[in-house]
């Protein structure tokens, strides 16, 4: 019986392994994913396919300052607008093969053609580069989490593919709990990092300084929730005076 995810469309397992026995679905839950935060600025990120899903992926990459190229014979109006304004490069053609991956850091395949998606995965794996074929776990060497992003804070939620719908629900709930005040506190503490490195001699001193503020009384998050940013700046200032 084919995996539910592939109902009505060709199952990737059939292409790669003959008969689909849902191995790919079991593999996912047995896979420990190494979670990292990638710098995309000035790195070439390729999205193959320019429909609704391609657009979603492009927006995620642009939000992280990726240098984005789309390869697709046809793209949607919003992608066309992004190409016209110079935010992305559009190569109006089909995926041509491994040479399209030259100098590319990461490729996301969002075409509606399974054979093309498989080729992209194989070409990328051959080069040991990052590849995600949208919604096809066996053709991904990285998967995308749901993300709650506020200022410098990014909270990533992954279920290892078990349930993207659940990841979306958790995203809503986490966004309600950790929002603006946490992001503002992170920025304020970042402003004190230079001082701490220059003034406090050991890692232990700096750890105590930052943990003292973050976990101290009064609670800086409560102060920020009340809109009292100045009280938090004062808190940091007095911790600096006490520590120096
Ligand atoms: C493995 C992974 C690979 C990857 O694509 O990276 C993958 C795979 C699959 N997704 C499927 C379905 C859906 N995916 C979404 C949504 C999102 N999917 C995302 C990530 C991932 N999806 C990776 C694992 C993430 C993790 O670790 O949990 C999110 C989080 C991030 C993003 O895409 O950027 C984004 C929400 C972002 C947000 O809103 O913030 C929805 C809901 C919706 O559409 O609104 C549904 C329908 C509901 C449901 O199925 O739960 C299917 C079945 C397809 C089918 O049935 O045909 C497969 C394949 C399979 O299960 O075999
Ligand atoms: N639309 C949706 O809500 C969802 C779609 N998906 C899957 O994601 C994939 C993309 O979805 P959509 O964006 O809706 O598809 P779409 O049909 O709107 O776009 C497909 C894109 O791929 C391009 N393309 C086709 N062959 C190509 C080739 N050889 N080289 C380069 N580009 C090529 C097309 O020109 C087009 O830009 C599909 O496999 C779909 O099953 C998965 C989950 C939800």
- Do the beta carbons of residue 20 and residue 11 sit within 8 Å? yes
Q: What is the pTM of this model?
A: 0.91
- Kind of pairing, strands 146-150 and 153-157? antiparallel
Q: What is the pLDDT of residues 82-130, one digit of tens each?
A: 999 999 999 999 999 999 999 999 999 999 998 899 999 999 999 999 9
What is the torsional sign of CA 42, 61, 115, 36?
positive
- Answer yes or no: is the C-beta of 228 below 6 A from any ligand 2 atom: no
d(CA 101, CA 95): 10
- Answer yes or no: is the C-beta of 209 below 6 A from any ligand 2 atom: no
Interface predicted TM-score of the whole assembly (ipTM), two decimals:
0.95
Q: What are phi and psi of 218, to 5 degrees?
A: -70, 160
- Of 192, 187, 190, nearest to 229 by C-alpha is 187
Token pair 């909270």 is found at: 155
d(CA 198, CA 182): 25
Ligand 1: centre distance to CA 161 (Å): 7
Q: Which residues line ligand 1 (CB under 6 A)?
A: 3, 5, 132, 134-135, 137, 140, 143-146, 158-161, 163-165, 167-168, 171
Q: What are phi and psi of 51, to 5 degrees?
A: -85, -160
Q: What is the pLDDT of residues 24-52, one digit of tens each?
A: 777 788 889 999 999 999 999 999 999 99
- Do the beta carbons of residue 236 and residue 188 sit within 8 Å? yes
């Amino acid at each position: 019986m084919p995996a539910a995810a592939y109902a009505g469309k060709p199952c990737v397992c059939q292409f790669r392994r003959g008969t689909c026995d849902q191995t790919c679905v079991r593999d996912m839950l047995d896979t420990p994913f190494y979670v990292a935060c990638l710098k995309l600025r000035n790195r070439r990120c390729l999205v193959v396919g320019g429909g609704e899903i391609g657009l979603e992926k492009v927006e995620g990459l642009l939000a992280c300052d990726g240098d984005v190229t789309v390869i697709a014979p046809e793209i949607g109006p919003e992608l066309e607008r992004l190409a016209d304004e110079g935010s992305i490069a559009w190569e109006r053609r089909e995926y041509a093969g491994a040479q399209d991956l030259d100098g590319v850091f990461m490729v996301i395949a969002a075409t509606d053609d399974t054979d093309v998606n498989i080729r992209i995965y194989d070409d990328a794996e051959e080069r040991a580069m990052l590849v995600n074929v949208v919604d096809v776990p066996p053709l991904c060497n990285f998967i995308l989490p749901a993300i709650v992003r506020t200022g410098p804070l990014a909270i990533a939620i992954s279920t290892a593919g078990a349930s993207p719908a659940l990841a979306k629900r958790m995203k809503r709930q986490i966004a309600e709990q950790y929002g603006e005040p946490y992001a503002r506190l992170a920025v304020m503490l970042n402003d004190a990092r230079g001082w701490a490195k220059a003034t406090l001699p050991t890692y232990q001193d700096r750890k105590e300084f930052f943990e003292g503020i973050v976990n101290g009384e009064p609670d800086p998050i409560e102060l920020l929730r009340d809109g009292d940013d100045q009280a938090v700046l004062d808190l940091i200032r007095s911790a600096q005076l006490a520590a120096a």
